[in-house]
Amino acid sequence: MAGGRVYPNTSRSGASNLSVLLHNRRVPSSAEPLDTLILSGSSPSAFLGSRSIMCFEDVQRAKGTQSPFFRAFDHGENGDDEDLDEYFHQPEKKRRLTVDQVQFLEKSFEVENKLEPERKIQLAKDLGLQPRQVAIWFQNRRARWKTKQLEKDYAALQASYDSLKAEYNNLLKEKDKLKAEVLQLTDKFLLKEKEKGNSDVSDMDSLSQEPQEKPIAQESAYEGEGSKVSLVVCKQEDISSAKSDLFDSDSPPYTDGVHSSLLEACDSSYVFEPDQSDLSQDEEDILGKSMLHHPCIFPKVEDDDYPDSPAANSCNFGFPVEDHAFWSWAY
């Protein structure tokens, strides 16, 4: 026995044996309200109608008053004193509490799920149970409550997860939509550039010797089908002006929800978080570092000779770096 704890039920008193006896003498449960049972001082007739155990005093009183139950038991039904002895010497059995007792305990549990010694004694007295039984009931009840609580918490977490997942999926869809749109615009831009290039060939020949004006973009070349579009690197101030040109016009080109995201992304106070789930660990590392140093959504590229440097690629909205051509086009 752990900690030298004494378990009353393991060495029963005579009163407990009587309890067993009464429990085993089963009769249909009484439907009397619990208040009647308790307020009447746990009258013998009340608990005799149950499967519950009884206080020793109750039993004594019951015997003394020769209640119908004891009269039957002593002289009738099962016959003689041998039967009585048999009952007294039966091994301990579990007894279920009556509905009323359980209801009372439940109400008490609702008030306070912990049991102070005084309350335990009082409850035991009221219900005609042993204090330990009351303690055990509360212990088991707490365990059940905990299990239920865990189930509730789990359900809440599940719901929360489902909702987040749905939101995530929506964001993914929106991302794809935006990506497709960027690609479309890029194609448009490249076509335009190509047409422009063809018509300018003759002009270029004639002007080839003249110094060019400061280019909008250092490099903007279309190398034909299937080839990679070279990165267009813009200086930040150029892009900023492009932004204002593009979005500050009287009639904004994009007013729908999709493009408003772009507008939001252009707000310097808005830090766009790319979908890192699509990135490899290396990419994440690079991204993480660059985002740390360049929280701005635009790459702070000072050296145009290193377009593929982490800094140059850091703020690509999670899109391929080619997509930056869009900004050049927009400008």
Footprint on this chain of DNA (rule: CB under 7 A): 1-7, 9-10, 23, 51, 92-97, 102, 114-115, 117, 132-133, 135-137, 139-140, 142-144, 146
Report the sign of the C-alpha dihedral through residues 276, 281, 286, 291, in that order. Answer: positive
DSSP string, 268-302: TT------GGGS-HHHHHHHHHHHHH--SSS----
Least Å distance between CB 5 and DNA? 6
- Return the number of the residue (133 or 328) whose C-beta is nearest DNA: 133
DSSP string, 160-218: HHHHHHHHHHHHHHHHHHHHHHHHHHHHHHHHHHHHHHHHHHHHHHHHTTSPPPPPSSS
* CA atoms within a 13 Å half-sphere pointing along the CA-CB vector of 135: 11
- Return the number of the residue (93 or 228) whose C-beta is nearest DNA: 93
Least Å distance between CB 312 and DNA? 55
Cβ pair 216, 328 in contact under 8 A: yes
DSSP tag of 234:
-
- Return the number of the residue (66 or 139) whose C-beta is nearest DNA: 139
Least Å distance between CB 118 and DNA? 10
In angstroms, the CA 174 to CA 262 distance is: 11
- Return the number of the residue (100 or 323) whose C-beta is nearest DNA: 100
Cβ pair 114, 42 in contact under 8 A: no
- Return the number of the residue (16 or 67) whose C-beta is nearest DNA: 16
- Return the number of the residue (142 or 300) whose C-beta is nearest DNA: 142
Least Å distance between CB 98 and DNA? 8
Q: Rounded to 10 degrees, what is the CA torsion of 306, 307, 311, 314?
A: -160
Least Å distance between CB 4 and DNA? 5
Least Å distance between CB 10 and DNA? 5
